[in-house]
Amino acid sequence: MRQGAGPHLRRSLAVLAGLTVAYLVLTLFVKNSYYQLILTLVPVWALFGVSWNILSGYGGQLSFGHASFFGIGAYTVTLAVVYWRLSPWLGIPLGMVLGGLAAIAIGTPTFRLRGHYFALSMLAYPLAILYVLQYLGFQEVSIPMHRDHPVAFMEFSEPRVYTVIAMALLAGGVAVSLIIENSRFGLALLAIRQNELAAEAAGINARQWKMRSLIVSGMMAAAAGGFYARVLLVVTPDSVFGMLTSAQAVVVTLFGGVASVWGPLIGAAVLVPLAETLQAELGTYLPGIQGVVYGIAIIGIMLLSPDGLFWTIRDRWFRPSGTEPIPDVSGRPAPARPAVAAPGTPLLQVENLSRSFGGLKAVSEVSFSIAQGEILGIIGPNGAGKTTLFNVLNGVLTADAGSAMLAGQQMLGCKTFEVCRMGVGRTFQVVRSFPRLPVLDNVVVGAYGAGMSDREAIASAVRALRQVGLDGQAGVAAGQLTNKQLRLMELARALAGQPRLLLLDETLAGLGREECDSVLAVLAQLRQQGMTICIIEHTMHAMMRLADRFVVLDHGRVLATGLPRAVVEDASVIEAYLGKKWLARQSA
């Protein structure tokens, strides 16, 4: 569980129980069978929205093809009754299994893509299935009745029973979603949504978490689809795999509130009755009015309150204070620190590292080493290949040749999150924070990435915040921090994973002199605690004070290595920075 998640989860489950009871009491007063059907459909579409929300809301992987899973559930239930006389009681779980398998089959290739390529590809799957089903002759399949065993085949003369089942499915889905939201699963997804590269560099295996969320999401959507088929008794490819079906999940969630479990519930409760009523009242004169209303609803919501009703209402009337006290971790076990070698023994050994982009040799045969407890400064003019070097070292880019051994272990060829787990923390030239998350959660991400348990992770994060002096801001959203605080928070995130080596990319960039000094003080203190640091920096005076040794890069090559004083007086270094003419004039 995340920090403070226990009470939050209990409160949310109580709200869920209350809502379920209230909804079921409401059904007692509805006599008209059409309205009863609407009452059954609201939880079904809400469940579909909840499933979409797990992948696309928390994880930010926009899917326009969730109808794939919905349709697979619906067709599984229907065809299982038709061909095997398999009751929907078993058909729905079977559909969920197939939905989960489909998620693996779809996710495996598609998660290679990001952003709108991902969204567009997801759109293509249900439509391809749709045409195949039409070709196979499943244009319209109805579920046959089994009057001999009505209950065994989910046949009830009392329509309210369907509402109860729908509500039970929805409650199950909401409970799963709440558990995800309050665990490291949810935190990993939120981190991936806000900044995938930062999440990877903090040790989160983005692909694995995305795949897990798609599987959970696909199973849930299949359950919704399976039950939907049972309620309507007839399925067609268009009604369960069509564009409008995928859109339903998107629409109810965005309308109600994205990345909140209550969003899809609010959206479905408002939009489904509205659209169904319009369809019933006006559908004969204005066919398609439902789609028009949906379109207007999502455009309106996007322009007026882009995160959905839930967030707008919450931000206006129920804004959380943001000053949650920092958790007390004094009694908690300190996470085992990696065994620190004696100062002076080599920690990182880089040999002949090369990486080119087409004809440009960004990093060319670079060799250097860092000893335990040392601060190595990497300097060089713009475009010298400093950041590329870091990107190759921590697995963002692949190397063309060379090796990089961390205490005898090969780093090259590992993925970014694996490098992080080997004990390499990283900060970025442009701060990559998770702006919506509180500072503490931002830092906890780094601790989770290193594979710690919940208790250890929070303890480690709090300690890291103390180390950089941000413990007063633990409850503030990262988006509200100043530039210096963001730099320190990123440093704390790297520290929370208990790294052996820190790679800092221009941590002082854009800071004023005083701010610069206070960050330098933090770094000096880290050195005293035995931390090994490799830092890229432009600010010379700061580097002279901080670094033990310099490596100078120019045009991707190592120009000079050595003690700071010696390096800055080296003629070739001065030439690289200030040009030949300047050098000639100085020496003349």
Partner 1 sequence: MDLEILIENVLNAVTAGITIGCIYGLMCIGLGLIFGIMRIVNFAQGELLMLGMFASFYLVTGGRVLSFLGPYWGPFIGALCAAPLLFAGGALIHKFLISRVSGLRTAGTLDEGHFGQLIVTLGISLILQNGGQILFGSTPVAVRTPLSSEAFLIGPVYGAATVFLNKAKLIAFFVAILVAIALYLTLEYTRLGKALRAAADNPTAATYMGIEVDSAYRIAFGLGAAITAVAGGLIATYISFGPFVGFDYVIIMYSGVVLGGMGSILGAFWGGLTVGFVQQFSALILPPQLQNAAIFVVFLMIVLLRPQGLFGRSAERA
Q: Which residues pair with 354 in a beta bridge?
A: 401
Residue from 150, 287, 344, 413 that binds partner 1 (CB under 8 A)?
A: 287
Q: Is 360 a binder of partner 1 (CB under 8 A)? A: no
| Stretch of residues binding partner 1 (CB under 8 A), selected from 38-46, 122-130, 447-455, 470-478 | 122-130
| Stretch of residues binding partner 1 (CB under 8 A), selected from 225-233, 280-288, 324-332, 527-535 | 280-288
Element (H, E) at 279: helix 262-282
Both tokens of 314, joined, read 């919450």
Q: Is 125 a binder of partner 1 (CB under 8 A)? A: yes
Residue from 34, 84, 131, 582 that binds partner 1 (CB under 8 A)?
A: 131
| Stretch of residues binding partner 1 (CB under 8 A), selected from 127-135, 165-173, 480-488, 531-539 | 127-135
Are 64 and 122 in contact by the 8 Å Cβ rule? The answer is yes
End-to-end CA distance of the chain: 69
Q: Where are the beta strands (DSSP E) in 10-162?
A: 141-142
Are 294 and 275 in contact by the 8 Å Cβ rule? The answer is yes
**Phi and psi dihedrals of 27, rounded to 5?**
-65, -25
Q: How far apart are CA 366 and CA 154, in angstroms?
A: 69
Residue from 119, 211, 371, 412 that binds partner 1 (CB under 8 A)?
A: 119
- Minimum CB separation of residue 134 from partner 1 in Å reads 5
Of 17 and 296, which has the nearer Cβ to partner 1? Answer: 296
Q: How far apart are CA 435 and CA 479, in angstroms?
A: 4
Of 302 and 584, which has the nearer Cβ to partner 1? Answer: 302
Q: Is 396 a binder of partner 1 (CB under 8 A)? A: yes
Q: Is 17 a binder of partner 1 (CB under 8 A)? A: no
Residue from 84, 117, 156, 582 that binds partner 1 (CB under 8 A)?
A: 117
Which of 412, 406, 402 minimizes the C-alpha distance to 351?
402
Q: Is 127 a binder of partner 1 (CB under 8 A)? A: yes
Q: Which residues pair with 426 in a beta bridge?
A: 503
Q: What is the dihedral of CA 223, 228, 230, 231, to 10 degrees?
A: 140
| Stretch of residues binding partner 1 (CB under 8 A), selected from 92-100, 247-255, 496-504, 545-553 | 247-255
Q: Which residues pair with 356 in a beta bridge?
A: 361
Site string for partner 1, 96-115 (x = CB under 8 A): -------------xx-xx-x
Residue from 21, 104, 292, 584 that binds partner 1 (CB under 8 A)?
A: 292
Which of 544, 566, 541, 567 minimizes the C-alpha distance to 554?
567
Q: Is 404 a binder of partner 1 (CB under 8 A)? A: no
Of 227 and 294, which has the nearer Cβ to partner 1? Answer: 294
Both tokens of 443, joined, read 């830092």
Site string for partner 1, 46-65 (x = CB under 8 A): --------------x-x-x-
Burial letters 430-450, b for 16+ CB under 10 A, else e: ebbbbeebbbbbbbbbbbbbb
Q: Is 295 a binder of partner 1 (CB under 8 A)? A: yes
Residue from 306, 322, 343, 510 that binds partner 1 (CB under 8 A)?
A: 306
Restricted to residues 183-212, the positions that interact with partner 1 (CB under 8 A) are 194, 197
Of 250 and 272, which has the nearer Cβ to partner 1? Answer: 250
Residue from 24, 86, 176, 247 that binds partner 1 (CB under 8 A)?
A: 247
Q: What angle do CA 134, 140, 142 make, to 5 degrees?
A: 145
Mapping DSSP to helix (H, G, I), strand (E, B) and coil, where does residue 292 land?
helix
**Phi and psi dihedrals of 261, rounded to 5?**
-70, -25
Residue from 6, 18, 144, 288 that binds partner 1 (CB under 8 A)?
A: 288
Which of 312, 255, 212 minimizes the C-alpha distance to 45?
255
Q: How far apart are CA 478 and CA 177, in angstroms?
A: 24
> Which residues lie near partner 1 (CB under 8 A)?
60, 62, 64, 109-110, 112-113, 115-117, 119-121, 123-125, 127-128, 131-132, 134-135, 194, 197, 243-244, 247, 250, 254, 286-292, 294-299, 302-303, 306, 396, 435
